[in-house]
Structure 1
Amino acid sequence: MNFETASWKRDPLQDDDVDGAAMIARRKRRIIIGVVVALAAAALAFYLIMGRGGGAAPGAEPGGQAMPTVTVVVPGRTQVERAISATGSLAARRDMPVGVSGEGGEVTRVMVEPGAWVSAGQTLAVIERSVQSQQAQQLAASIDVARADARLAQQELERAQSLVGRGFISKADVERRIATRDAANARVKVAQAQLAETRARIGRLDVRAPAAGLVLDRMVEPGQVVGPGSGALFRIAMGGQMELRARMSQEDLARVSAGIPATVTPVGSSQSFTGQVWQVSPVIDPQTRQGIARITLAYNPLLRPGGFATAQIVSGQVDAPLLPESAVQNDAKGSYVYIVSGENKVVRRDVQVGQVTDKGVTIIGGLQGNEPVVQSAGAFLNPGDKVNPVRAAAR
């Protein structure tokens, strides 16, 4: 007997329809939940920005738009050092070219190299002197001959003087012997002077340092024939002292005087050197409208003549506002700051920047010092924007 009925049987197609409907329902629920979560997040963000209950946030305009809060500083006026920036070339303060002072000849030895320290009178190079040495020996022998003649003349004079009293020799003969003796003595002196001259010429064959200092350059080698027209064979920095020949405008040069301090930094070096201005150029280049201030520096291996360097010259003090670097902006028109007007609006103010130090930027023009200046975030503001200023202490 078959006990199955029609109500107990399940159709497979009906099962597939039921599963598909369930999946569609679940998918709709997920979409609805996602939309609700997104709306809740947007409402929360709006609540955090605008405040509870839909009220305006602090610092908002009447229309409901929030005004940005900015920190402002009133710089006042501060006594700061006035510094002038300049660039120039390093050189020896006293650059001494050393050449041949005598007749010259073939160089046999060179005694020094660039970078060596020498004392006054030290031999730098030796020139061949064999001919002059032979001349000196000849003159020394001629002195001996002249002295022998002088001794003989003296002896003959003494004998004549002993015989003149007995009438064997006349007084005229004695006077002639006196003249002969004097001439012989004179010839001795002439020979001695000639020998001294020759020895002096030999001494001038040595190229010597005119003063103590540092050898900067050597332009001679052994075997080279040199003479008075050969030019400089060595260059020496007197005492090793260096200087920076700083070029600056006519206006800046007028504020510089001898004796004021300066700091020099060679290009490529992080080390700075302290010096002082020792000479200010009395003329201005008509082409560049610039003059030269010469800054003396003690010797240091990093100060190489011919190198390029920058200088900061302190030319007194100035009473000016001092702002943090973040307050000063720059564009194609130059430097400027943003100040906040009485209506809390941002106003652009063009300024002239002076010295920049660790303490801040000196403003030498454009500000009185009593204006509220935007301390930072100036790049995110535009002239005319309304802001909520919060004052901070001046740096």
Structure 2
Amino acid sequence: MIEQPLNIEKKSRTLPKNTKSFVLWAIVIMVIAFAIYWWKLSQVPTQEYSQWSKPVPVRVISVQRNDLQFEIKAIGTVLPTHLVKVQSQVAGVLQKIYFKEGQYVSKGQLLVQIDPAPFQVALAQAQGTQQQNLAQLRNAESELARYQLLFKQDSIARQQVEQQQALVNQLKGQVQANQAQVDAAKLQLSYTKIYAPIEGRVGFKQKDTGNLIQANEDAGLVSITQVHPIYVQFAIAENYLDMLRASLQKGEQVKVSAWDRAEKKQLATGYVEAFDNQIDTNTGTLKIKATFKNRDDALFPNQFVNVRLNAKTIQNAINIPTDAIQNGAKGTYVYIINKDNKAEIRMLKLGMSSNGQTEILEGLQGNERVVLEGIDRLSEGKEAQVVQDATVSLASTQTARG
């Protein structure tokens, strides 16, 4: 009697078989739908927002075709045209100084005065001796004239005439010696006034007024440097000698510019004056001397300057900025942007480089757009976006450098 209700309860808890299958398929469909939705969601940013799939922003420069100046850079030293150490040729007391230190003086300008008194005394003594001998000479010549008259009258012997003639000649020699002594005394007196032998700028004085100075002292009285014009001496490698000599033999003036230590300011421009007669075997270089007018005193003796020598002008050269040139396993190349705004690789044969520009011998025709910035993300056939043309800015930079 009790077992029948229990069997009825078990049957009510058991689900039909069709219901279980339906639930299982619903779960599978929901999982598949969620996976598809997630996959599509993950693909959308890659296709629409990936930076690598977009065109590469680049700056380009048009290939230049103009005259290219080939420059040789060196370090030079400014040298005065003339350097004179003013020395006294006589000993004496320094009486007066007529210049100021650092003053620009002209040739022949009075610089110092040495006490002339001792030399005036010596001149007076020499002149007195000269006058004494002149009086003796006049007396001897008068006696000779009488002797010659008496000899014609046959009143005296020839020997007396000849003796008197010898005395006259002797006195003439003494008078000449006296004249030389007078001239020497005048010369010594003139040395007491010292004049500038050249025009230029004087340095610091080495003696003060009242000092006793000696003749030809090593220290001298003052130095004078001629700075108008002025020289700059520098050295170039010997392999540039033929190029430089060819230009000079044609009568061309080879331009040289002097720049400050930072190479930001051009101080002066000049021309090659001469080059040394031998190459330094220790360094393999040749010394060059250039002349600068230096009217504004921009160059100062013993100053160190950076030198740019315009050794050669390449007419109508195809050239691009050196920064645009890349080096790879196959050689040097550049990226260009074609008419479809896609990148292409051009292999190059290079010529001379100067002032940030490089001559292109082969590889470019002169009408291409060369990539200057943005090269890192480029590859052959990659689409590019030109964000700025660097032609204008580069041209202004070249003008400033020139």
Q: TM-score, normalised by structure 1?
A: 0.67
Determine the structure 2 residue equivalent to 1:185: 172
Counterparts of 1:74-113 in structure 2, within 5 Å, are: 75=63, 77-100=65-88, 102-113=89-100
- Confirm or deny that 1:261 pairs with 2:216: no
Q: Find the counterpart in structure 1 of residue 285 from structure 2.
A: 290
| Cα shift readout 1:198-231 (whole Å, capped 9, x = no counterpart) | 2223323443333344435644433152322425
The gaps in structure 1 that reach 5 residues or longer are 1-42
Q: Give the 3 Å change call, closer, same or farther, for CA 119–394 of structure 1 in structure 2.
A: closer
Q: Write the distance in 1 (CA, Å) between the matches of 2:335 and 2:162.
A: 112
Classify the secondary structure of the residue corresponding to 2:228: coil
**Could you say which residue in structure 2 is the equivalent of 1:5?**
none
- The number of aligned residues is 332
- Letter aligned with residue 236 of structure 1: I
Residues 367 and 82 of structure 1: CA distance in aligned 2, closer, same or farther (over 3 Å): same
CA contact (8 A) 2:57 2:374 kept: no
Is 1:302 matched up with 2:298?
yes
The separation in 2 between residues aligned to 1:330 and 1:116, in whole angstroms, is: 56
Equivalent runs, 1:160-199 vs 2, <5 Å: 160-164=147-151, 168-199=155-186
Query: Is the 1:108–1:126 contact (alpha carbons within 8 Å) kept by the matching residues of 2?
Result: yes
| Partners of 1:69 and 1:119 in 2: CA distance | 65
Describe the SS at the equivalent of 2:244: coil
RMSD: 4.3
Instruction: Output the amino acid matched with 2:208.
Output: E
Q: Residue 339 of structure 1 aligns with which residue?
A: 335
Shift of 1:278: 0.5
Read off the aligned partner of 1:280 and give its amino acid letter.
F
Deviation at 1:239, TM superposition (A): 6.8
The aligned runs of 1:1-395 (5 Å cut-off) are 65-68=53-56, 70=58, 72=60, 75=63, 77-100=65-88, 102-164=89-151, 168-216=155-203, 218-222=205-209, 223-238=211-226, 240-257=228-245, 258=248, 259-267=253-261, 270-299=265-294, 300-318=296-314, 320-323=317-320, 328=324, 338-340=334-336, 354-356=353-355, 361-364=356-359, 368-370=363-365, 373-378=370-375, 381-382=376-377, 384=379, 387-389=382-384, 395=391
Change (3 A) 1:218 1:313: farther
> What SS class does the counterpart of residue 188 from structure 2 fall into?
helix
Residue 89 (structure 1) shift: 1.7
CA separation of 1:152 and 1:306: change in aligned 2, threshold 3 A? same
Residue 375 of structure 1: SS of its match in structure 2? strand
Unaligned runs of 5+ in 2: 1-40, 392-402
Return the letter of the residue paired with 2:274. Q
Q: Whole-Å Cα distance in 2 between the matches of residues 394 and 218 of structure 1?
A: 57
Give deviations 1:219-264, integer Å, cap 9, x for gaps. 4433152322425443333473211112333334553345311222
**Maintained 8 Å contact 1:273/1:297:** yes
Return the offset for 1:388: 1.1
CA distance, structure 2, for counterparts of residue 136 and residue 95 of structure 1: 33
Distance in 2 of aligned mates of 1:235 and 1:166: 72
Aligned to 1:169, the other structure's residue is in SS state coil
Change in CA separation of 1:117 and 1:80 when aligned onto 2, cut-off 3 Å: same
Q: Decide which moves more: 157-166 or 181-190.
A: 157-166
3-state DSSP of counterpart to 2:277: coil
How far has the Cα of 1:196 moved from its partner? 0.9
Give percent identity, aligned residues only: 17
Deviations 1:90-113 (A, max 9, x none): 12123333334x343443333334
The one-letter code matched in structure 1 to 2:124 is Q
Secondary structure of residue in 2 paired with 1:272: strand
Alpha carbons 2:79, 2:301 under 8 Å: kept? yes
Residues 344 and 380 in structure 2, CA contact (< 8 A), matched pair in contact too: yes
